[in-house]
Structure 1
Amino acid sequence: MLSAVRSCLLPIIRLYLLGIKVLLVQLLSGPFRLPVMPRQDGKVAIVTGGSRGIGYEAVRHMAKLGAHVVIGGRDEREGLLAVRRICEENKEAKVEFSKLDLASLQSIRQFVQRFKEQNLPLNILINNAGVMLVPEGRTEDGFEQHIGVNYLGHFLLTWLLLDTLKDSGKCGYFSRVVSVSSSAHRVGKIGLNDLNSCRYYSPHAAYCQSKLAQLLFSSHLHQELQRRGFPLSSCAVDPGMVDTALYRHLGTPLSLVHSAVARLLFRTPAEGASTVLLAALSPALEGEGGGGYWATGHREMTTPPTFDPQLQLSLWETSVQLLGLQ
């Protein structure tokens, strides 16, 4: 009983203390302003969760620069509305919506199949969609929702698109995988024997674990790509505390506080998208300049577990096994 209470209470305390610290640093440092990025004519990008929030702002900006952008999202009505809004704003925008439910491995495979049938290159993949603090539940394939949507869904999506990303990259114009993580990874712990949080469920611990898993995946993928000489890089980004719908599952007392504080102190979705766009578009991050963990426009150090090559490899192998990949 005591272990169960500790397993649920400690992640809550750690996450909210971290949140206060991050918000203070964010207020003191101010927002990062994205410098002018080069045109992206001829390039193709996929953004998961691109119908609203940070993802929408990333899609909107890349479309302005001439990229052909595919929004992958679960809500078709919301996705088509986002496409319409962007095209009304920019008549020359090349934006489309394709249904993608990261809680369904079948939906992910169908999304990739539809994309590949278009015979398009793929220069940028932004793994942006996510859930936070959702009640205990399982995805269509039986995974805990945070690890299933935030991590395993994006793992499979990236895996299935790797060949296209590699083929689309070339020296001086690397393809890029950008995974939107969170400072929450700093208080996360990976339970390789219990990724599905079956023993004790804490939405706070599950969320932090999924964000740490994203970072480990991003780092391991980048190292493997560089070691094998592929023209493709992988990095992770922390957009900061941003006023989006991600916080909708906060408990009632906290949600009231959040509503009052977020509009005043949190970053706007456009500000949150700035570092994501830097990682996806900046010429300074070509080749060896890519990779790493980025926040507020700068590369940042992460916690020691993220540098553990054995943990990276073990998580990768466990993920491959869970997803039934070769």
Structure 2
Amino acid sequence: MGLWSYVNRHLLPFLRMYLVGMKVLLYQLFHRSFALSVLPNQNGRVAIVTGGARGMGYEISRHLASLGMHVVIAGNVEEEGLDAVKKIQEEAGEGRVEFLYLNLASLKSVRQFVQRFKSTGLPLHVLVNNAGVMLLPQGQTEEGFEVHFGLNYLGHFLLTNLLLDALKRSGKHGTCSRIVNMSSATHYGGRMIMDDLNGRSCYSAHGSYSQSKLALVLFTYHLQDMLTVGGYHVTSNAVDPGMVDTNLYENLCGPAQLAKAPVAKLLFRTPAQGASTAIYAATASEMEEVGGCYLFNGCKTASSESSYDTELQAELWKKSCALVGL
């Protein structure tokens, strides 16, 4: 591999990601975190939250349940999930919460999860695609996909498509169903390398993570276009939670870990603050029938220029369908 190829595929993603991170921290230094107003009661509505047992996912699950929603926590650690269910049930009030096993790094597990959920006979009004991993060493999912692309994006792509019929049936005029995809500001530095989505030619954890988050935004927009054309009362939005103090950063390199500790105390959002925009997208009256948005700190925000490329959106959708066997 030549020097320029190495710089382009390895060094530049690293620099882009940390530059984006600095911009977010500067924003968070001078702007208050978005605070949720009073939200409408969600009695009778059902939500699935991936990664709903910890961090922001737990806060999303807890808040939705407090609004009266029936919440299904989808996660790959049963003990952790059941513990989250117990804690939320103790304070949820009218809401109900349960745990179903889901390993997003296995397409087989995604299909099994959907079968188990559908066997309950429950409707589905909200799907929050929250689970994710960041900066992992080079690794593969069960089907051989690069782990960031496979878990953060492909697993959620398949999950959403397999649940789309349930979301369509539950969505009605004035009470739409909602899909919320948890992206990240790192998508601004992401590049879709369509001929090497698995990063085999030169693996970069930073590039792979950013690519997976860009893929989620492209997916969000293309899905909304399809739903609009079909006349369905289902919306699809992407959410950027900002920089949040969760264990997602545990794979930072040593120097970055040392720098993060004091900075996180001063500038990072808490998990509850980071979850607020996703909760807003999932429940707020102002978001009724509003889709195709990128939301940051409770506001509609412009995403990256490449995320609006409709040809790229369509190409990624077609390739994703082929990869997951749809």
Q: TM-score, normalised by structure 2?
A: 0.98
What residue number does 2:115 align with?
Answer: 113
* Deviations 1:17-68, CA, capped at 9 Å, x for gaps: 1111111012211100011100000000000000011110010001011000
Question: Secondary structure at 1:179's aligned position in 2?
Answer: strand
Match of 1:154 among 145, 153, 156: 156
Mapped pair 1:80 → 2:82: yes
What residue number does 1:189 align with?
Answer: 191
Q: Where in structure 2 are the equivalents of 1:286-325 lying within 5 Å?
A: 286-287=288-289, 289-325=290-326
Which ranges of structure 1 fall in alignment gaps of 5 or more residues? none
What residue number does 1:199 align with?
Answer: 201
Which ranges of structure 2 fall in alignment gaps of 5 or more residues? none
Q: Where in structure 2 are the equivalents of 1:61-72 lying within 5 Å?
A: 61-72=63-74
Mapped pair 1:173 → 2:175: yes
State the Cα distance separating 1:285 from its structure 2 match. 1.1
- Structure 2 distance, partners of 1:181, 1:33, is 20
What residue number does 2:36 align with?
Answer: 34
Please report the RMSD computed on the Cα atoms of aligned residues, expressed in angstroms. 0.9
Paired residue type of 1:15: M
- Structure 1 distance, partners of 2:94, 2:250, is 34
State the Cα distance separating 1:114 from its structure 2 match. 0.5
State the Cα distance separating 1:90 from its structure 2 match. 3.1
* Deviations 1:76-112, CA, capped at 9 Å, x for gaps: 1110110111112235430000010000011111110
Question: Secondary structure at 1:199's aligned position in 2?
Answer: coil
Mapped pair 1:102 → 2:98: no
- Structure 2 distance, partners of 1:175, 1:263, is 36
1:103–1:149 CA contact under 8 A, matched in 2: yes
What residue number does 2:129 align with?
Answer: 127
* Deviations 1:227-275, CA, capped at 9 Å, x for gaps: 1100101000000000001101001111121122212210000000110
- Structure 2 distance, partners of 1:225, 1:90, is 32
Q: Where in structure 2 are the equivalents of 1:201-220 lying within 5 Å?
A: 201-220=203-222
Question: Secondary structure at 1:249's aligned position in 2?
Answer: coil
Question: Secondary structure at 2:108's aligned position in 1?
Answer: helix
1:188–1:209 CA contact under 8 A, matched in 2: yes
Q: Sequence identity of aligned pairs in percent?
A: 55
- Structure 1 distance, partners of 2:319, 2:193, is 11
What residue number does 1:23 align with?
Answer: 25
Question: Secondary structure at 1:17's aligned position in 2?
Answer: helix
- Structure 2 distance, partners of 1:126, 1:16, is 27
2:43–2:95 CA contact under 8 A, matched in 1: no
Q: 1:64 to 1:91 in 2, by over 3 A?
A: closer
Q: Where in structure 2 are the equivalents of 1:219-230 lying within 5 Å?
A: 219-230=221-232
2:67–2:94 CA contact under 8 A, matched in 1: no
1:86–1:93 CA contact under 8 A, matched in 2: no
- Structure 2 distance, partners of 1:5, 1:132, is 21
- Structure 2 distance, partners of 1:214, 1:263, is 29
- Structure 2 distance, partners of 1:227, 1:27, is 41
- Structure 1 distance, partners of 2:283, 2:184, is 20
State the Cα distance separating 1:324 from its structure 2 match. 1.2
State the Cα distance separating 1:186 from its structure 2 match. 0.5
Matched pairs, number: 324
State the Cα distance separating 1:5 from its structure 2 match. 4.0
Paired residue type of 1:296: N
State the Cα distance separating 1:14 from its structure 2 match. 1.1
Question: Secondary structure at 2:266's aligned position in 1?
Answer: helix
What residue number does 2:50 align with?
Answer: 48
What residue number does 1:268 align with?
Answer: 270
Question: Secondary structure at 1:71's aligned position in 2?
Answer: strand
Q: TM-score, normalised by structure 1?
A: 0.98
